Structure 1
Amino acid sequence: MRRAAVLGKGALAAHACEVIAGLPNTVLNAVVPNADEPEWDVRLSDVVAERWPETRIVTSGDWRELEPGRCDLVFSVLYDRIIGRSLIDATRMIVNCHPGRLPQYRGARPVNWALLNGESIHGVTIHAIDAGIDSGPVFAQALFSIWPEIDEVRDVWERSMRHARLLISDTLPRLDRIAPRLQAEERAVTHYMRENHLLGERADWTRATSVDGP
């Protein structure tokens, strides 16, 4: 029986748990919710406690509480910490769902940066986790239209979540049979949290109101 763990937050991480729990010969062994679960989304810890009461919930939000090598599959969905080499090296398949188009939008707040840059296309990506920031080989990607002159961050974030939900459903059952492709490093751009002040009016959910965003 293959053991799996999910790290992250919200309805999208809960959906990943649902898909993984439904895979043949797979058990959802552990879930690591972000330590600060957002008020604007469902609480992953509550969903897991209700749906899979036998699954271990790591309430600290710290990936280091997972025993290296215990899980064959680790899936990160909007997780808010950098996963270290000890878990990466010990896990047969460790994968992330990133709400941005790779390699152009690695790192923090890809939706915000795409809108600030006036992009007409955005994307969500499922990729292998390596020692870099969103730099691992890509298993799957979905691209879709955005309209910076019309869209707010909230609009594109919600659109990203819809596409990510479908991408997770399509990709996870096929993960063992997909040959991931290397990212084009010459096109790679990484944004960091320390750059958030450069986002200006795109720092928040909308350009008119300052509220907590993704």
Structure 2
Amino acid sequence: MRRAAVLGKGRLAVHACEVIAGLPDLSLDTVVPTTPEPSWDISLTDAVATRWPEVRVIESGDWRGLEPGRCELVFSVLYDKIIGSDLIDVTPQIINCHPGRLPQYRGVRPVNWALRNGDDLAGITLHIIDDGVDTGPILAEALFSVWPDVDEVRDVWWRAIAHGRQLITDTLPRLQAITPRPQDPAQAVTHYSRDNHRLGDRADWTRAQSVRTR
């Protein structure tokens, strides 16, 4: 039985725990919640305490609290910290759930940037974690329609979460059979927190919020 750890937040991370706990070759061993946990989504810590009380919870939220080599699978689901080589190098499978298309939307706030750019397609991606920022080979992705004239960031975010649930459900049982696909560096764009001021009225959940906070 291989041990697995889930790092991250909210209902999508809880769903990843559900899928892992239901697989015959995996045991949910450790959870590292994003801290502080967002008030606008369910608490990963509370869900684990209620449903899987035997699972270790690293309350600091720091991936460094996960013993290197303890888990054969580490799954980052909307986790907010960059995982270092100390964990990457000793983990047979370490993957990330990124709420955007890759390689076009590496880095922070991919939903916001997709709407800022007027895209009519957005996505959510599972990829291998390497030493770069969202640069690892792609395992699976789901694309879905967006309508920038009417959609707010919160609309597309929750749509991404809904598609992410199915993506995780379909992908985790097939991990051993999937050949990762390298990203095309020629299409790569990375957004950093220092660029957030360029988001304009797409910086918040809704455009009305952006107007109020100016």
- Class of the TM-score when normalised by the shorter of the 2 chains: over 0.9
Find the aligned partners of 1:50 and 1:20 in 2 and give their Cα distance.
16
Is 1:99 matched with 2:99? yes
Matched residue of 1:172: which SS? helix
1:181 aligns with 181
1:169-213 deviation per Cα after TM superposition (whole angstroms, max 9, x unaligned): 0000001110000000000000011111111100000001259xx
2:124 is aligned with what amino acid?
V
1:101-148 deviation per Cα after TM superposition (whole angstroms, max 9, x unaligned): 000000000000000000011100000000000000000011111011
Find the aligned partners of 2:194 and 2:78 in 1 and give their Cα distance.
18
1:150 aligns with 150
Is 1:32 matched with 2:32? yes
1:17-47 deviation per Cα after TM superposition (whole angstroms, max 9, x unaligned): 0001111121110000011100000000000
* 4+ residue segments displaced more than 2 Å: none
Count of residues in Structure 1 that have an aligned counterpart in Structure 2: 211
Q: Percent identity over the alignment?
A: 68
Matched residue of 2:167: which SS? helix
Find the aligned partners of 1:23 and 1:103 in 2 and give their Cα distance.
30
Find the aligned partners of 2:39 and 2:210 in 1 and give their Cα distance.
16
**What is the TM-score normalised by the length of structure 2?**
0.97
1:142 is aligned with what amino acid?
A
| Correspondence 1:24-173 to 2 at 5 A | 24-173=24-173
Matched residue of 1:186: which SS? helix
1:177 is aligned with what amino acid?
A
Q: Which runs of 5+ in 2 are unaligned?
A: none
Find the aligned partners of 2:209 and 2:202 in 1 and give their Cα distance.
10
2:194 is aligned with what amino acid?
R
Computed over aligned residues only, the root mean square deviation of the Cα atoms, in angstroms, reads 0.9
Matched residue of 2:19: which SS? helix
Contact kept, 8 Å, 2:201 with 2:210, in 1: the verdict is no
